[in-house]
Structure 1
């Protein structure tokens, strides 16, 4: 048995890709996308028909240049999501515009729009996760959306305060970014030779996992943003792991035995008496320099790629 198949015994494998051919090849349960992956996929010649369809959709909807561009961008994300859903049994995560990350009401409005676009084509909302940045506003938006049976994937998660607030809001799923945490610390204190047990990103997920299982939170933990297969294997047993095609291939080519590393606690503990307040959340989150820097950097980078996608679509629409 190769490591990819062995890993599936302990964790649900999710494809971190908008590349439909890769998804077909590796047979993941679920798939995740983000603005960077959508931008990359939109430039594949094989997906040109999805772009053309989005352009025609935006023109039919009408409106000014900004409105048509946004509608085309949303339709591209939904089109790629629908193609992915044809090739997986589970869910696809579709991310909202990162520029809305600090506006709870707009996060809710955009999420409802994307869900309605999927439902227009007969896709049940139970197969969609709306990805939101793990800001306070994003977490609170997810809490409201959950009441409308719109389940969310809280991404760009770096601090324990973010993880705790998500669990207390009964968010469906979180995506802690193992690789980006590792990158930040490794730039300042290189881990040479590499020791996965000292990997800061891996240790972060261990802490969150143990806390969630100890207090019986229902929020799913999906490790994300991996740099090495060692990080993935050190998290065997995590609820879900979203993995890039490159690392999926490495796992499929490797036959060293996989050992489960994360196990739920058999003890049950009473939860903390009160959830984090907004002030407590900001105080705790801002004690973590890495988390503050990586969250803001992640939002900026996703916004840059969102703008690139919109500029490309505007060029098709108006030139």
Structure 2
């Protein structure tokens, strides 16, 4: 049995791509997208007709509506290739506006419903700012499920659990990137691999906290740099993996055992933690890595949203 099939026995495998034509070979349960992945996909010749068709159909509408319709079009295509859910992201430029995020999320859901897609097959992706988490709490109360992204810190995860969000996406690879850059010449790749990888350690802490205290929010490790990070989180609720790394797992026959266990977490002696807005903001501020990576992630998604708008305007 290859490692991908082994991983699927104890973790839900999600494909991290906007390239729905790639999905069939890996048979993931769910798929996630973000503005950068959609931007990458629409620049490929095989997706040009889909982009042109969507733009032509909704020409004259506000740009934000055309973008949402394009994202939903991709989401609907992806849902033809996966049995589970697709994550569709709210514009990152709304990351500090709770009410605008809620409004945009509701429209995305309405567009999916107009295409005959059940609400339970869509996760609305929102950046895990304080405002984003509050928007997610409102949406969850309305039965709209959310995926909180750009999550780099334990404080963000705790606040998401309190908000009863459906799922969080802690970014393993970006945490690793930050610590590797900070380490500079003294960084020891071998010593910081596997269970000692700072990104892996972050997700492990979050997973154990959730399982220990019966928090129902699903943990989906994201943004992997290598297969070692994935295998060190085997047993996590879900892992969203880029096609290149899915291919590496499928090509490897080495045995794979779960690294995380809900039963083991339940027996751990861990402190219960909660946050209100001031304590959340302070805890996030104390975490230089999470503060920098959250800001950088929002900026990068916003840049790609603008590039996507320019592509649409050019058509």
Q: Within 1, Cα distance between the matches of 2:101 and 2:259? A: 36
Distance 2:86 2:274 in 1: 29
Corresponding residue SS for 1:286: helix
**Are 2:8 and 1:8 aligned?**
yes
Aligned to 1:201: 199
How far has the Cα of 1:75 moved from its partner?
1.3
**CA–CA distance in 2 between the matches of 1:297 and 1:25?**
33
What TM-score, normalized by structure 2, do the two folds share? Answer: 0.95
Distance 1:314 1:268 in 2: 56
1:248 alignment counterpart: 246
Matches within 5 A, 1:1-319: 1-59=1-59, 62-63=60-61, 67=62, 69-189=63-183, 190-194=187-191, 195-265=193-263, 267=266, 275-316=274-315
Distance 1:300 1:283 in 2: 21
Contact preservation (8 Å) 1:215, 1:270: no
Q: Within 2, Cα distance between the matches of 1:13 and 1:108?
A: 28
Q: Matches of 1:32 and 1:162 in 2, distance apart?
A: 20
Runs of 5+ in structure 1 lacking a partner?
A: none
Q: Which runs of 5+ in 2 are unaligned?
A: none
* Moved >4 Å (runs of 4+): 268-274
TM-score by length of 1: 0.94
Could you tell me how far 1:269 is from its partner in structure 2? 9.0
Q: Deviations over 1:231-257 (max 9, x none)?
A: 000000000000000000000000000
CA distance in 2, matches of 1:81, 1:265: 35
* Secondary structure in structure 1 of the residue aligned to 2:15: strand
Going from structure 1 to structure 2, the CA distance change for 1:50 and 1:209 (only over 3 Å counts) comes to same
Asked if the contact 2:213/2:272 (under 8 Å) is kept, the reply is no
Whether contact under 8 Å (1:107, 1:138) holds in the other structure is: yes
| Per-residue deviation, 1:273 | 7.8
RMSD, aligned α-carbons? 1.6
1:45 CA drift (Å)? 1.5
Query: CA deviation digits over 1:32-65, x for unaligned, max 9?
Result: 0000000011112212222123212322xx45xx
- How many angstroms apart in 2 are the aligned matches of 1:274 and 1:207? 12
SS in 1 for 2:286: coil
